[in-house]
Chains A and B, each alone.
Chain A
Amino acid sequence: MTTSTNAIEALANREYQYGFVTEVEADTLPRGLNEDVIRMISAKKNEPSFMLEWRLKAYRYWAKMEQSEGEPKWANVTYPPIDYQNIIYYSAPKSKPKLNSLDEVDPEVLRTFEKLGIPLEEQKLLTGVAVDAVFDSVSVATTFKEKLAELGIIFCAFSEAVHNHPDLVQKYLGSVVPYTDNFFAALNAAVFSDGSFCYIPKGVRCPMELSTYFRINAADTGQFERTLIIADEGSTVSYLEGCTAPMRDTNQLHAAVVELIAHDDATIKYSTIQNWYPGDKEGKGGIYNFVTKRGKCLGRNSHISWTQVETGSAITWKYPSCLLQGDNSVGEFYSVALTNNYQQADTGTKMIHIGKNTRSTIVAKGISAGHGQNTYRGMVKILKGATGARNYTQCDSLLLGDKCGAHTFPYIEVKNATARMEHEASTTKIGEDQIFYCNQRGISKEDAVNLIVNGFCKKVFRELPMEFAVEAQKLLSVSLEGSVG
């Protein structure tokens, strides 16, 4: 055996570095789900009645679904049945955070974020990035709030927005992803406990990256957050979310909803670096990441761009989509999804062209290693009124090894003959010749694989905000450890 394969094996045994657990006293609801649990969550959040009513409607819808068809079955993933009565739906660190002062936050929680590389003291943060930190079911801190408020930007915990901006919440909540959308969206609407809220007023260009960092800590709890971003006329915002979770033998459910609304001439760029615990090398444990993300390009010339780097989770089920309603609106989806060991991902996008001259771009890069299964599922729909619509889809798969799989399901539905569609797809194996070529130039096997994989993902990485592109590259290389040998 060569020294390089030894080195790779050593690295492969390195653990998921975010897998630690924080000891913190928590306020936790008993396991299980019923109307009382919904009422308790709403009461804990001291919510206005419109919220409770909405939650209850969602719950009843979900309960009916659960009795009938249950979870969606069409995804190309397999997992044992989830016992929804065995999940804890609310857990929050006990020392009640007062949202304007970090002094009130449990120091253990602060230390957790520090350890994750997200210090919450403003002076320590990356300049130009405001962070909302969500720990289990609640937002524990939001930075740079005052500075953003000077421009009229609202960036706060969802639960806070419910109190301080109920009109905005009521107007937009569920307007893009109604609770009837799907099983997990209904569940989320019923039980979500926090998340981020963001409003950019007319004509304002948000001067810093907004970001939310999600951390699951408590065992046996589900995480159900909800993010709502509204970009008013002519405004621009770039938003990034990151996430990690402890290593546990049992699977944990994460069912989030993200809604974006872009008015006339507004631009929203939404980037995700998803690094939930993926389970161990045998496929034990890990997060079930069942997420509904959708943006509505409501106004003329509006623009929504999704960029995602999905490396974590045992199972990912996620289709960040765009409803291109406004004339000349633009939707984009750039995705890197990596599955290693026994991870499964079924991810892609939907681009629904409604308005005239709407354009969409899809660039999906799937990487499979180990026994990983990677599915791209995409839908491009050109409705009758969408004269002059255009779509470009590029969908590439890269295989490392021969036990993994790549699958693609592109659906196209065109109801307007003026539409122009372009579709490119490829599946390649990482070449032994490519690796040898790198080796011959002095580059180790492991670095060679990283180099080749990063080259493969380049079109997506260059869409990420600078600070995070480097992060994403590193994450990819850590996630790939042990996949060559």
Chain B
Amino acid sequence: MLEITNLHVKAGGREILKGVDLRVKAGEVHSIMGPNGSGKSTLAQVLAGRETYEVTAGKVTYQGRSLLEMAPEERACEGLFMAFQYPVEIPGVGNTYFLKAALNAIRKARGLEELDAMDFLTLAKEKMTRLEVDDRLLTRSVNEGFSGGEKKRNEIFQMAVLEPTLAILDETDSGLDIDALRIVAAGVNSLRSPERAILVVTHYQRLLNYIVPDFVHVLVDGRIVKSGGKELALELEARGYAWVEAEARAAAPATA
């Protein structure tokens, strides 16, 4: 479904991703872990199409198409969803209004009929109940004044309504309390299907107890330096990143 080859990305004049390779097949859940500042969010944002990042080399194919040539909204309409590490506030724009606009933009792009307010509300209510999202968040402005955890939960609520093909979750677990973590994880798991793939960026092994990944990758200094199964997350939890970094350094060609 997603194939990233030798991806190099620059931001603020600095190279941040230095050759990332990653293949994600339909039905799989991949987790990306790595120290602060290693480039995890950069990778997520580049996949979502953020223009502040400059792709200097590499290729990304998504469902057989060149992802990097698509506008961000086009990617979204093709089923790519990213839950933001820092969800953005949009004052004055109602949360439901926004989500309905999003869903209908995507439906329209797919040649589906737009949902009217009634049908949309039925759908939204159903997802809300499932994700135990507070009713009051619906009528408020998008993310405005939401607590950290509420913002994260709102991201997952949006994901549930938009039903993406490829979901990228950037530290959705950070800031969630234990109950919320379980609910959010259940929401993500209910999306798991043979047609879909999920990319989970996280610092904590704990989340992976709930959303069990097929693969775990370690991103250090702009490169994936180690990949493994779900046990790798446990090992990282126990030992930290230093040993992976050391291993990577030892394996790297002595050019620098």
A residues engaging B (CB < 8 A)?
2-4, 431-434, 436-445, 447, 451-452, 454-459
CB distance from B158 to the nearest CB of A (A): 7
B93 adjacent to A442 (CB under 8 Å): no
B121 sits at the interface (CB 8 A) = no
B241 sits at the interface (CB 8 A) = no
- A3-B71, A441-B76, A442-B162 are contacts. A456–B91 as well, Cβ < 8 Å? yes
B186 sits at the interface (CB 8 A) = no
When C-beta atoms are compared, the residue in chain B nearest to A4 turns out to be B71
A440 adjacent to B71 (CB under 8 Å): no
Cβ–Cβ < 8 Å partners of A437 in chain B? 84, 87-88, 90
B92 sits at the interface (CB 8 A) = yes
When C-beta atoms are compared, the residue in chain A nearest to B81 turns out to be A440
Cβ–Cβ < 8 Å partners of B74 in chain A? 3
When C-beta atoms are compared, the residue in chain B nearest to A2 turns out to be B71
When C-beta atoms are compared, the residue in chain A nearest to B97 turns out to be A451
B88 adjacent to A442 (CB under 8 Å): no
When C-beta atoms are compared, the residue in chain B nearest to A439 turns out to be B72
CB distance from B209 to the nearest CB of A (A): 28
Most chain A Cβ neighbours within 10 Å, of B71, B74, B77, B162? B71
- A447-B105, A455-B141 are contacts. A439–B92 as well, Cβ < 8 Å? no
Which 5 pairs from chain A and chain B are nearest by CB? Answer: A455-B92, A455-B93, A441-B102, A439-B72, A442-B76
A442 adjacent to B92 (CB under 8 Å): no
The contact of A440 among B82, B89, B109, B141, by CB within 8 Å, is B82
When C-beta atoms are compared, the residue in chain A nearest to B78 turns out to be A442
- A456-B92, A457-B92 are contacts. A442–B102 as well, Cβ < 8 Å? yes
Listed by A's residue number, 7 A-B pairs whose Cβ atoms lie within 8 Å are A438-B73, A439-B72, A441-B98, A443-B101, A443-B102, A454-B93, A455-B90
Most chain B Cβ neighbours within 10 Å, of A2, A439, A456? A439
Task: Determine, out of B44-52, B112-120, B192-200, B242-250, the stretch whose residues face the partner at the interface.
Answer: B44-52
Q: Once bound together, how far apart are the Cα atoms of A439 and B102, in whole Å?
A: 9
Q: Once bound together, how far apart are the Cα atoms of A4 and B76, in whole Å?
A: 13
B residues engaging A (CB < 8 A)?
48-52, 71-77, 81-82, 84, 87-93, 98-99, 101-103, 105-106, 109, 141, 158, 162
Cβ–Cβ < 8 Å partners of A440 in chain B? 48-49, 72-73, 75-76, 81-82, 84
Q: Once bound together, how far apart are the Cα atoms of A314 and B100, in whole Å?
A: 36
- A3-B71, A3-B74, A436-B50 are contacts. A442–B106 as well, Cβ < 8 Å? yes
Most chain A Cβ neighbours within 10 Å, of B51, B82, B93? B93
Cβ–Cβ < 8 Å partners of B81 in chain A? 440
When C-beta atoms are compared, the residue in chain A nearest to B143 turns out to be A437
A444 adjacent to B141 (CB under 8 Å): no
B71 adjacent to A439 (CB under 8 Å): yes
B88 adjacent to A434 (CB under 8 Å): yes
Most chain B Cβ neighbours within 10 Å, of A438, A441, A443? A441
Q: Once bound together, how far apart are the Cα atoms of A440 and B75, in whole Å?
A: 8
CB distance from B29 to the nearest CB of A (A): 20
Q: Once bound together, how far apart are the Cα atoms of A456 and B90, in whole Å?
A: 9
Besides A441-B101, A455-B91, 19 new A-B residue pairs in contact (Cβ under 8 A), listed by A number: A4-B73, A434-B88, A434-B89, A436-B49, A437-B84, A437-B88, A437-B90, A439-B72, A440-B73, A440-B82, A441-B76, A441-B105, A441-B162, A443-B105, A445-B73, A451-B98, A452-B93, A454-B93, A457-B92
Q: Once bound together, how far apart are the Cα atoms of A436 and B71, in whole Å?
A: 10
CB distance from A467 to the nearest CB of B (A): 18
CB distance from B99 to the nearest CB of A (A): 8
Q: Once bound together, how far apart are the Cα atoms of A436 and B49, in whole Å?
A: 8
A439 adjacent to B73 (CB under 8 Å): yes
When C-beta atoms are compared, the residue in chain B nearest to A396 turns out to be B91
Q: Once bound together, how far apart are the Cα atoms of A433 and B88, in whole Å?
A: 7
Cβ–Cβ < 8 Å partners of A458 in chain B? 92-93
The contact of A436 among B72, B77, B162, by CB within 8 Å, is B72
Most chain B Cβ neighbours within 10 Å, of A431, A433, A456? A433
The contact of A442 among B51, B73, B89, B90, by CB within 8 Å, is B73
Cβ–Cβ < 8 Å partners of A443 in chain B? 73, 101-102, 105
- A3-B71, A439-B71, A442-B109 are contacts. A452–B76 as well, Cβ < 8 Å? no
Q: Once bound together, how far apart are the Cα atoms of A432 and B51, in whole Å?
A: 9
Cβ–Cβ < 8 Å partners of B84 in chain A? 437, 440
Cβ–Cβ < 8 Å partners of A434 in chain B? 88-90
Q: Once bound together, how far apart are the Cα atoms of A154 and B109, in whole Å?
A: 52
Cβ–Cβ < 8 Å partners of A4 in chain B? 71, 73
Q: Once bound together, how far apart are the Cα atoms of A432 and B90, in whole Å?
A: 12
CB distance from A426 to the nearest CB of B (A): 10
A431 adjacent to B88 (CB under 8 Å): yes
A432 adjacent to B52 (CB under 8 Å): yes
The contact of B93 among A2, A3, A451, A459, by CB within 8 Å, is A451
B71 adjacent to A447 (CB under 8 Å): no
Cβ–Cβ < 8 Å partners of B75 in chain A? 440
Q: Once bound together, how far apart are the Cα atoms of A437 and B76, in whole Å?
A: 11
When C-beta atoms are compared, the residue in chain A nearest to B89 turns out to be A434
- A439-B73, A442-B77 are contacts. A451–B90 as well, Cβ < 8 Å? yes
Q: Once bound together, how far apart are the Cα atoms of A199 and B106, in whole Å?
A: 51
Q: Once bound together, how far apart are the Cα atoms of A454 and B91, in whole Å?
A: 10
Most chain B Cβ neighbours within 10 Å, of A2, A442, A458, A459? A442
Q: Once bound together, how far apart are the Cα atoms of A306 and B176, in whole Å?
A: 46
The contact of B92 among A2, A436, A438, A454, by CB within 8 Å, is A454
When C-beta atoms are compared, the residue in chain B nearest to A436 turns out to be B50
Cβ–Cβ < 8 Å partners of B88 in chain A? 431, 433-434, 436-437
Cβ–Cβ < 8 Å partners of A456 in chain B? 91-92
A442 adjacent to B105 (CB under 8 Å): yes
Cβ–Cβ < 8 Å partners of B91 in chain A? 455-456
Most chain B Cβ neighbours within 10 Å, of A3, A440, A445? A440
